[in-house]
Chains A and B, each alone.
Chain A
Amino acid sequence: MNAALIAGVIASSILSGTSLLYATLGELVGERAGIVNLGLEGIMLIGAATGFAVAALTGDPYVGLAAAALAGGAVNLIFAYLVVGCRANQLATGLCLMFFGLGLSALVGRPFVGALITGLPRMHLPGVGGAGARLLSYDMLVYLAAPAALFIWWLLFRTRWGLVVRAVGESPAVVYAAGRRPAFVQYQALALAGLLGGIGGAHLSLALTLTWAEGMTAGRGFIAIALVIFARWNPLWAIAGALLFGGAEALQLQLQAAGADVSPFVMNMIPYLLTFLVLILWGWNRQSAAPAALGRTHFGVE
């Protein structure tokens, strides 16, 4: 492996890790509030399709990005209404949301298959020239990814709102007894989660592939859910996780580009197998960092 290849892998792992990081942060906020959302895959798909469609219609990728975030947030509120408002089973509702997202994104994206869009513009870092400029010019979302993780960390661990969110995730009954409404906080957390999931999906279609294809997230939503476990529900660890998985994807792309004689199908498995490996390794550790009330239903008066 030469230096250019290594640099290429690093550059593209940052690029493909970005959408995972946003999605992981979204799931993490929801799970901190005690809600598992298996429908993240659907939210990402809706973000990718909406972002692409709006960017194609308006010609402005930033408008597309904003629409994707709003669409993700809005659809996640349907999920919130069902699991918080109606106290429906979180796993079944989440899977149902995945189907909903799969179908809705196929409907929204259909007229735009093969459309050409201008992707999110790449920005050069000031003071980096030559070969470095080619490698180190990313779109806005990439530069904002790590700060976003820091921001979510600050939000969860350094603000009063974050304290309440985490308290709801540990024990909704205590929050209820303290005179706050756990349901309201969960709605807020899930709206934020939807925004982030929508952005994660939009980064795929608006910056990475510049196309819309049905089911293009290819399980990234589920990998992001696994990454939350990997990150032990800490936004800062999510950065490392997203880079690791972005790296697995990037390595596969670079090997293919370099003409390695391995079937693309085998290489496509790498991120999934890595996810399994991580889940198994983390599974050995019985000390769980998961929020205590994760996945439970709170009935208001206990």
Chain B
Amino acid sequence: MPRSAATLCLESALGAASRAALVTLVALGAFAALLTAAGKDPLKAYVDTIAYVFGNPYGFSELLVRMIPLLLTAVAVALPSRIGLINVGGEGQLYMGAWLTTAGALSLSDQPAYVLLPVLTLLGFVGGGLWALIAGVLRALRLVNETISTLLLNYVAPMIVGFFIFGPWRSPESASYPQSPAFVDAARLPSFFHTRVNAGLFYAFVCLLLYWLLMTRTRWGLEMRAIGGNPEAARQLGVPVFRIILIVMFLAGGVAGLAGMVEVTAIQGRLVSELSPGYGFIGFLVAWLAGTSAVGIVVMAFLFAVISSVGDILQITQGLPFAVVNILMAVILFIVLARRSVGSAAR
């Protein structure tokens, strides 16, 4: 008896989930061995993380909060990857989105929320979008490879933010720790249920939905996939490759910029120098692991939000830098890279 499509779908989903679980377990083991060698207690860190994340509603809500920038920066990677562009600049685009949002929040502070918040959303999008457009233009003109340019721009964007919060935007109250003045209440993105879960989650899912619709339901998505498959053939068929590269990079940067907008308007309430512990980079890993599928991005963003909670716990209870958790993320990816490639070589 032929099995139904739904059963097959479920089976492949279960298979994918069990493989992901296996990879995660192996990585957790390797990471634990490394931490033990460094004289730390990995098991306590894992147990603490689970107790913190799943033990109470607030811990779980923090997981959702962390997923917001990961979802947004992952879409910022997934979208250009469909035309074969590698955007590793989510981090810089996030900072520039936050920067332009702050410019708006500080200069339009007398506006009511229903005017201010849409304007700030737009500014966050434009800030990140224009930053990514630099790399897009250089790529479209075939001058500089977008991978290296977006990577370098990641280092420049925090310097621009630093210049403004140490200079023109420096709040008079902050003597030791430079930051911008606090935003007015009208410029704060609303949070819900006395947690930090905010309207940014809505932005993230709208972006994901639009991404999915764009790729699967529009002529544009078809053209983009054509460029990704064979740019020269697409050009011959009259697909405007140059224009699409610019538009895609702008949209991708804009989505990452929204992550910055959410971070300053909902979480921080002001512009600070340490805006992101590398969300843009983690978003890249999320998108890469998800293979640019919208559902996969949600699953992987959840997984990486849990993993980055391990980083928080290590920082708080064992005095390790947050960056140490990058080892765990990298090992997961190493395993996946090794397995996936051996498989493709056999085909």
What distance in Å separates the Cβ of A299 from its nearest Cβ neighbour in chain B? 6
Instruction: Tell me which of A38, A219, A265, A275 contacts B163 (CB under 8 A).
Output: A265
Chain A residues whose C-beta falls within 8 Å of the C-beta of B213 in the assembled complex:
none
Contacts A89-B337, A106-B324: A38 and B159 contacting too (C-beta < 8 A)?
Answer: no
Measured CB to CB, the closest approach of chain A to B317, in angstroms, equals 14
Closest CB in chain B relative to A267 CB, distance in Å: 9
Residues of chain A with a CB closer than 8 A to B162's CB: 265
Q: B299 to chain A: closest CB distance in Å?
A: 19
Q: Does A57 contact B (CB under 8 A)?
A: no
With A91-B147, A266-B163 as known contacts, state yes or no: A100 contacts B330, CB within 8 Å: yes
- B88 contacts A95, CB within 8 Å? yes
Render B281-325 as a binary contact track against A, CB cut-off 8 A, 1 for contact. Answer: 100110010000000000000000000000000000001110111
Contacts of B327 in A (CB 8 A): 99-100, 103-104, 107
Does A225 reach chain B (CB closer than 8 Å)?
yes
Q: In the docked arrangement, what's the CA distance between A291 and B86, Å?
A: 21
Given A88-B337, A88-B341, A284-B143, A225:B148 Cβ within 8 A: yes
Q: Does B47 contact A (CB under 8 A)?
A: no
A53 CB to closest chain B CB (Å) equals 11
Q: A82 to chain B: which residues have CB within 8 Å?
A: 334, 337-338, 341
Are B331 and A100 in contact, with the CB atoms below 8 A?
yes
CB within 8 Å: A-B pair count: 131
Contacts of A225 in B (CB 8 A): 148
| A87 contacts across to B, CB distance below 8 A | 341-342, 344-345
Chain A, interface size category, equals 35 or more
Partner of B321, one of A95, A214, A272: A214
B167 within 8 A of A: yes
| A96: interface (CB < 8 Å) | yes
In the complex, what residues of A have CB within 8 A of residue B334's CB?
Answer: 78, 82, 93, 96, 100
Are A107 and B38 in contact, with the CB atoms below 8 A? yes
Asked whether, in the complex, the Cβ of B330 is within 8 Å of the Cβ of A97, the reply is yes
- Cβ of B143: which chain A residues have Cβ within 8 Å of it? 279-280, 283-284
Q: In the bound complex, do residue A106 and residue B321 qualify as a contact, i.e. CB atoms below 8 Å apart? A: yes
Name A222's contact: one of B151, B323, B325, B338 (CB within 8 Å).
Answer: B151
| In contact, A280 and B144 (Cβ under 8 angstroms) | yes
Q: Are B284 and A95 in contact (CB under 8 A)?
A: yes
Shortest Cβ distance from residue B208 to the other chain A in the assembled complex, whole angstroms: 22
Q: A87-B342, A96-B337, A283-B142 are in contact. List 14 more A-B contacts (CB 8 A).
A: A86-B342, A87-B344, A96-B285, A96-B334, A99-B330, A107-B34, A110-B320, A219-B155, A226-B148, A265-B160, A272-B156, A273-B156, A279-B143, A280-B144
